Copies of this chain bind each other. A is one copy, B any other.
Amino acid sequence: MRIPILKLRDCLLVSIQWELDDQTALQFQEDLLHKIHKTSARGVVIDLTSIDFIDSFIAKVLGDVINMSKLMGAKVVITGIQPAVAITLIELGIRLEEVLTALDLEKGLEKLQRELED
């Protein structure tokens, strides 16, 4: 099963609501990049509100997909990072440079749209 990617205006929305297995994470990475290409999306919001733990593989895939999306010209906002997820990301040295963050999907989308207007 794949993670659905929603298109809203020129942004893509993804909500990850369960722990991903490795295969699903890699599939998500591929799907998101294809969708950015296909829709010419200028921004991506990835919502992690429901995720209270990530393992090292998923953290790496997440860091990669953010950098890949940026390479393709899409701004990325990560929303709802919980304490344990923040700890894992930093401890593993996953550098989310220049990544916008916000408390929830709604605020993330607003932030992204303000950025895109600039």
Contacts and interface: CB of A to CB of B under 8 A. Distances in A.
B4 A4 contact: yes
Number of copies of chain A assembled together: 2
B8 A106 contact: yes
A9 B108 CA distance: 12
Interface in A1-23: 1-9, 13, 15-18
B6 A18 contact: no
A24 B1 CA distance: 11
Interface of A: 1-9, 13, 15-18, 24, 47, 104-106, 109
Closest 10 CB pairs of A and B: A1-B1, A4-B17, A4-B15, A6-B15, A8-B106, A9-B106, A6-B105, A8-B105, A6-B13, A2-B18
Given A1-B18, A6-B15, 18 more contacts: A1-B1, A1-B24, A2-B17, A3-B4, A4-B15, A4-B16, A4-B17, A5-B15, A6-B6, A6-B13, A6-B47, A6-B105, A7-B104, A7-B106, A8-B105, A8-B109, A9-B106, A13-B13
